[in-house]
Amino acid sequence: MIWGVLQFPGSCDERDALHACEVVGGEARLIWHEERDLGGVDAVVVPGGFSYGDYLRAGAIARFSPAMEAVAAHAAAGGPVLGICNGFQVLCEAGLLPGALLRNADLRFVCRQADLLVVDGPKTGLSDGFSAHQRLSIPVKHGEGRYYAPEEMLDALEARGQVAYRYAEGHNPNGSVRDIAGVRNEAGNVVGLMPHPEHAVDPLTGSTDGRAVFKALERAAA
């Protein structure tokens, strides 16, 4: 298993993502944003941080990076892609995932532990291996994490099984519509979520639930 973790100017969680990939198993490589070749990796992680300083809006500039063209091609070929926090924002800006991430409802940066519920989805994708409504304890840290889509799009996402994660009752930290914490594409091989599973892979941090998210990526690549 070879993991590729993108690195943009302003990324701050790529090293933790590399570590999480290695904890799950396999080789993990950093891919600089100017690279047009992913080097034959099996799965791609677009990490959290503040790519390009979040100028214009979060993810708006990173989506034009040469590496994102390679990620789009990887996804189109069925390769698994995981976007975390800023990575989720980048994937939405790039059109690889539906919807948008807006400023938190209270306009404040939030950093705390949150409980998520795994939403059943396409078993050929990144939800394979989870039990229905499995609960995960994973930290959040963001200022622009409020998921938004028009009502008709939300209804379509629900009908197609594209909601990947929801915040458990009382754990929505940002005002996301329908408590949505993460979504998947129609094929199920591209998933984005605002919480940080790479910060929940070691017992010393209080939870190892994040490993399940990376394990799902590993299974999809296999």
List residues with catalytic annotation.
Answer: 85, 196, 198
| Token code pair at residue 46 | 């677009």
Which DSSP string do the residues of 1-44 spell out, in sequence order?
A: -EEEEEE-TTB-SHHHHHHHHHHHSSEEEEEETT-S---S-SEE
Helix/strand/coil (H/E/C) assignment for every residue in 154-218: HHHHHHCCCEEEEECCCCCCCCCHHHEEEEECCCCCEEEECCCHHHCCEHHHCECCHHHHHHHHH
Sign of the CA dihedral running 173, 46, 191, 27? negative
